[in-house]
Structure 1
Amino acid sequence: MIEFAGRGLRPSLPAACLLAATLCLGLVGCASKPTPQPQPQPADEAENYTPPKKEWSILDPFAPKDFKEVEVPLPALPRDADLITFEVSPAGNFNFAVDAKSVSVGADGAVRYTAVVTGASGMRNVSFEAVRCDTFQRKMYATLPKGATDWVRNRSDDREGWTQLAGISRNNYAGTLAKDFMCEGRGAAGTAQEIVRDLRGEAPRKSAIQR
């Protein structure tokens, strides 16, 4: 109990000392509370921790990509009125043409077309094929033998798949199509309509990749 002395009601000396001691003990008690420390992770969780992968806003165009080829139906047989001729080599003795209506750019990035190769004797080789611009490869899906009225699928297709295109040579029409008309860098040179437009007479498109 606090005693008061005199008319001014000032606390007596023992009461004041008791009050000050009580306040000091309260302050010491607050200051002495321990700071919470982070709990260590179990050893097995720490060892199995994998930092989150960083998302990149700009994709590397030259990074390897999984190629998932789309299923493509065979086109209609080519007609002479739809053939667009192109030159492979001035020294060649074959006539090369592409069926304009068969040109397509697939969701997988491959450019597909029907090629018609005519020899000096008039003998024709007709094939439905494709080129991959990212790997500079070619694939033949079907051929049209002489006298046939429908496509004959390439039975070796499952075995061989895509094959590497050699450098531009005398009769390498697929390489010429890929390098000068159908590919730009490592992708298709535009839409099917743009590729057909270039084939119809515009200047050959030069690939940014030197083969």
Structure 2
Amino acid sequence: MKLSRFGLALAGLLLALAAQASEYNKGFNNTNYAMEDVKPWEEGKYTLPDYPAAPDWIGFYIGPEVVNKYFADSKSMSVGEDGVVRLILRVQSPAGAENLSIEGIQCSEGKYRSYAFGDAINKRWIESMRADWRKIEYDDKARRALREDLCVDKTAPKSAEQAVKLLRAAPWR
């Protein structure tokens, strides 16, 4: 099969363009920069605090349509190296009934975990049977408010002291 001059010229042009494209793409694969692999998030170790004997409750506002009152214990608040704010949460009904739980808020991902629930009679924690991290849903007003108050720009506070200051300074929307 004979190739015409036009066919030969076209084939030569395509080969030259392919070689030039190959040279051009080398600039995008620059090996002079070491890029660290992004590791998936892992939860750090956490030990449950003692049941609160003399808590320092900080109230926080959920919204006008919510009748329960919400509080976080400033003495139990911690910020882990894993970027999780952990605290004891107290929910009080208008009739005076109280529920305590130990919660973790993962600031960057907008997730939460309930570690344990309070047994007020025996003054102890009952560990949660559900150890997974769950997305903070739109209708979960309490955890949404905690994340908004504690996680500025979806970033965990640097320390427990900063977390307490943020919660105390949170506006009553």
TM over 0.5: yes
Structure 1 counterpart of 2:160: 192
Q: Cα gap change, 1:104/1:81 in structure 2, threshold over 3 Å: closer, same or farther?
A: closer
Seen in structure 2, the aligned counterparts of structure 1 residues 54 and 66 have a Cα distance that, compared at 3 Å, is same
Deviation of 1:94 after TM superposition, in Å, equals: 0.2
1:10-159 to structure 2, matched below 5 A, reads: 52=31, 54-55=33-34, 65-79=39-53, 81-157=55-131
* Structure number, greater radius of gyration: 1
Contact kept in structure 2, 1:127 and 1:142, CA below 8 Å = yes
SS of residue in 2 equivalent to 1:198: helix
1:92 Cα deviation after fit: 1.1
In the alignment, which residue of structure 2 is the partner of 1:6?
Answer: none
Match of 2:142 in 1: 173
| Cα distance in 1 for residues equivalent to 2:150 and 2:170 | 13
1:182 corresponds to which residue? Answer: 150
Q: Distance in 2 between matches of 1:176 and 1:155?
A: 25
In the TM superposition, residue 53 of structure 1 has moved relative to its aligned partner by 6.6
Contact 1:79–1:99 (Cα < 8 Å) also in 2: no
Q: Would the aligned equivalents of 2:88 and 2:100 in 1 still touch at CA under 8 Å? A: yes
Q: TM-score, normalised by structure 1?
A: 0.61
TM-score (norm: length of structure 2)? 0.73
Alpha-carbon separation, structure 2, partners of 1:53 and 1:125: 56
Structure-2 separation of matches of 1:88 and 1:71: 30
Structure 1 unmatched ranges of 5 or more: 1-49, 205-211
Q: In the TM superposition, what whole-angstrom CA distance separates every residue of 1:65-97 from its partner, at most 9, and x where no partner exists?
A: 411211111112234651111110122110100
CA-to-partner distance for each residue in 1:49-74, whole Å, 9 max, x for gaps? x9847225xx9xxx964112111111
Superposition RMSD in Å: 2.7
Percentage of matched positions with identical amino acids = 27
Contact 2:85 2:104 in 1 (8 A): yes
The answer for unaligned runs of 5 or more in structure 2 is 1-28
AA of the residue aligned to 2:141:
N
The Cα shift of 1:118 comes to 0.5
Q: How many residues align?
A: 145
Task: Give 1:106 shift.
Answer: 0.2
Secondary structure of 1:75's aligned partner: coil
